[in-house]
């Protein structure tokens, strides 16, 4: 008997998740004998349901929700035996993971990805004992995203994060950082550290244009200089996919990281507040089998 599970976060996407529940169930019933629907009510529910899908001989798991729901689902699947194929309908604000996988931003079009049932192995990251799908960030600019309200997200979309990040420029101070990676080390002062798993960061799909969803690497960017003239020079390279070659940026690929600082810093994990430094992170190559858009 082929079984599928659907995780629904009723509050995601201005409560749009409920609107698409029946559509997803109908698509799943085309290829499965049994479809189980689980509704989240609190933090941690999606992770628990995803773990249940690994233990209950499910072949497919689909999540209907925003970035937080997708992140929780991945945490429930990672490094477990008998993981089902995983897919999702993006209902978040930025949806970087969906952008990287070629999943349409419009939920109605994203349903077609589930109909096609085309899968691809995809990398995820592990930081300490937690898993993530897209990006780690360290620095005052990264921490500024915590101040973005739900209203600002709805009104401005991904731009809301850049507005708050811009406000952080006026209080900019560099911090000391030591990064040990793949038996190498970088040590110095910087204003921002970004560790990208995919090409899309903050809704900018050219941020790490050379990154692939299953290349086995983190793509590490360290911003060494920060002033209005420097930012103006960065912008063209940012949108042309050439950020890694900018002389204000220290860039390197890595499969594992150890990051520490003498300053009290907190790592941002997929847009949410994580935990204080130091931390260790590694890539989990081809960890998940994901439903993606057929090229």
Whole-number mean pLDDT of the chain?
Answer: 84
Give domain limits for the chain: 3-124+287-291, 132-285
Using the predicted structure, report yes or no on whether residue 287 has a pLDDT greater than 60: yes
Residue 58 CB neighbours (<10 A): 22
CATH numeric code, 3-124+287-291: 3.40.50.10330
204 DSSP 8-state letter: B
* Minimum mean pLDDT range among 180-184, 197-201, 277-281: 197-201
Through-space distance between the first and last CA atoms of the chain, rounded to whole angstroms: 30
- Assess contact for 265 and 189: CB atoms under 8 A: no
Percent of the chain with pLDDT over 90: 58
Percent of the chain with pLDDT over 70: 78
Digit-coded pLDDT (tens) for 232-269: 555 555 555 556 656 678 999 999 999 999 999 999 99
More confident position, 213 or 18? 213
| Residue-wise burial string across 233-245, b where 16 or more C-beta atoms lie within 10 A, e elsewhere | ebeebbeebebbe
CATH 2.30.42.10 fits 132-285, yes or no: no
Q: According to the model, what pLDDT value does residue 161 have?
A: 46
Residue 186 and residue 165: Cα distance in Å, rounded?
Answer: 25
Residue 130 and residue 273: Cα distance in Å, rounded?
Answer: 12
pLDDT band at 91 (very low <50, low <70, confident <90, very high): confident
């Amino acid at each position: 008997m082929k079984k599928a599970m659907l995780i629904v976060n009723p509050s995601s996407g201005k409560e749009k998740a409920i609107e698409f529940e029946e559509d997803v169930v109908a698509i799943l019933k085309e290829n499965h004998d049994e479809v189980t629907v689980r509704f989240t009510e609190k933090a941690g529910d999606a992770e628990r349901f995803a773990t249940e899908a690994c233990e209950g001989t499910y072949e497919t798991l689909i999540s209907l929700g925003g970035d937080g729901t997708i992140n929780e689902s991945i945490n429930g699947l990672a490094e477990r035996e008998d993981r089902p194929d995983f897919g999702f309908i993006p209902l978040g604000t930025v949806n970087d993971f969906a952008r990287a996988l070629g999943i349409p931003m419009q939920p109605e079009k994203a349903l077609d990805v589930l109909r096609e049932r085309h899968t691809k192995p995809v990398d995820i990251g592990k930081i300490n004992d937690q898993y993530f799908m897209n990006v780690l960030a360290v620095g005052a600019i990264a921490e500024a995203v915590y101040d973005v309200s739900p209203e600002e997200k709805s009104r401005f979309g991904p731009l809301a994060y850049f507005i708050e990040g811009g406000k952080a420029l006026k209080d900019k101070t560099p911090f000391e950082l030591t990064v040990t990676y793949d038996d190498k080390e970088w040590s110095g002062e910087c204003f921002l550290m970004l560790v990208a798993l995919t090409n899309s960061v903050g809704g900018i799909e050219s941020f790490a244009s050379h990154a692939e969803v299953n290349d086995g690497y983190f793509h590490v960017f360290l911003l060494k200089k920060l002033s209005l003239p420097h930012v103006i020079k960065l912008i063209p390279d940012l949108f042309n996919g050439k950020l890694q070659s900018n002389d204000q940026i220290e860039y390197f690929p890595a499969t594992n990281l150890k990051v520490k600082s003498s300053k009290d810093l907190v790592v941002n994990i997929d847009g949410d507040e994580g935990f204080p430094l130091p931390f260790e992170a590694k890539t989990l190559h081809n960890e998940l089998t994901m439903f993606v858009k057929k090229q």
